[in-house]
Amino acid sequence: MYVPTEFVWNDKMTTGVPDIDVQHKYLINFINELGYSIRKNYSPEDIVKVLKVMKFYVDWHFAKEEECMERYHCAVAEKNRKAHAVFAEKLHEHQKEYENSGGSSELAHRIHEDLANWIVNHITALDTQLYPYTGQTTPQAT
C-alpha cells in the first residue's frame, strides 16, 4: 500500500515567480498535513477538507499560473493548461467517489498519492520551465 511521505520545498521547484512559488509551497504543506493525518489520526472529514481546498486551489492557482505562462510567453503554456485540465478532472472524479462511497482511508491514500505525483511530475518537471522566461539568473533562495 502507498505510504505518504513528507515533501520539502527546494530551489529546484522555483518558477521564478514569487507568488506562484508561495502557492506551490502552500500546496506542499497541505499535502504534508494530509499525509500526517493518514499516518496518525485519519478521519473522513480530512477528505472533505482536501477536496474543498483543492477545488479552490485548482480554480484560483491554475488561473494565476496560466496567466503567468502567457505573460512570459513560456513555451510550455499550452501543455501546462492541458495538464491542469487533466488534474481538475481527476479531482472531480475524487469528489464523485467521495459522494458515492464516503471517505475511506483508501480514498485518502489515493488522493495523497495523486497530489504527491502532481508535485513530482508537474511542478518540478513543467512549472519550473517558466523560470528561464522570467529573466532571473539564479533561483531565489527560499
d(CA 5, CA 141): 24
pLDDT band at 111 (very low <50, low <70, confident <90, very high): confident
Any idea which of 8-12, 39-43, 76-80, 122-126 has the lowest mean pLDDT?
39-43
pLDDT, residue 30, reads 87
pLDDT band at 122 (very low <50, low <70, confident <90, very high): very high
pLDDT, residue 138, reads 61
Of the candidates 19, 125, 25, the residue with the CA atom closest to the CA atom of residue 72: 19
Exposure on the CB side of residue 128, measured as CA atoms within 13 A: 17
pLDDT band at 137 (very low <50, low <70, confident <90, very high): low
Domains, the chain, ordered by start: 17-130 (1.20.120.50)
Q: What is the pTM of this model?
A: 0.86
pLDDT, residue 66, reads 96
Residues in the chain: 142
pLDDT digits (tens, 9 = 90+) for 27-53: 998 889 888 888 887 888 888 888 899
Q: Is the pLDDT of residue 58 over 70?
A: yes
The rounded mean pLDDT for the chain is 88
Count Cβ atoms below 10 Å from residue 53 Cβ, excluding itself: 15
pLDDT digits (tens, 9 = 90+) for 59-94: 999 999 999 999 999 999 999 999 999 999 999 999
